[in-house]
Amino acid sequence: MGLLGGCVPWAARLGFPKTTAQVQQQYAGVTMQISGTVVQQAPFLEGGAYALQDQTGLAWVFTEMALPELNSQVTVEGVVRREVVFWGDRTHSEHTAYLQEIERQD
């Protein structure tokens, strides 16, 4: 599984079971809001990414702002983005989704 792999908690919030692939394809470009606990951080030169965990799974959020504190509870509004992630000698890849942060409530 690639860096951004994992469960997609917004599927359960939409009121019906969906596979990760279905959510990635159907909701790419859609703005939505998710809430959870910050369980991982990946700082970049500007902003970074952080993982939000709730009872349904884990979702990665990319931001240009400062990263939230580990173990903090946040609600994020963002746009679902879908990209291909390659690893190894580029012979392995997978489609993955993440949320591009627009606004955050700490």
Domains observed in the chain: 10-105 (2.40.50.140)
Distance CA 88, CA 35 (A): 33
Residue 24: DSSP 8-state? H
Work out the mean pLDDT of the chain and round it to a whole number: 78
pTM score:
0.71
Residue 69 has pLDDT above 60, yes or no: yes
pLDDT of residue 98: 87
Cα Rg, the chain, nearest whole Å:
13
Closest CA to 98 of 14, 18, 17, 20: 20
Residue 79 has pLDDT above 90, yes or no: yes
3-state secondary structure of 7: coil
Q: Are 97 and 6 within 8 A, CB to CB?
A: no
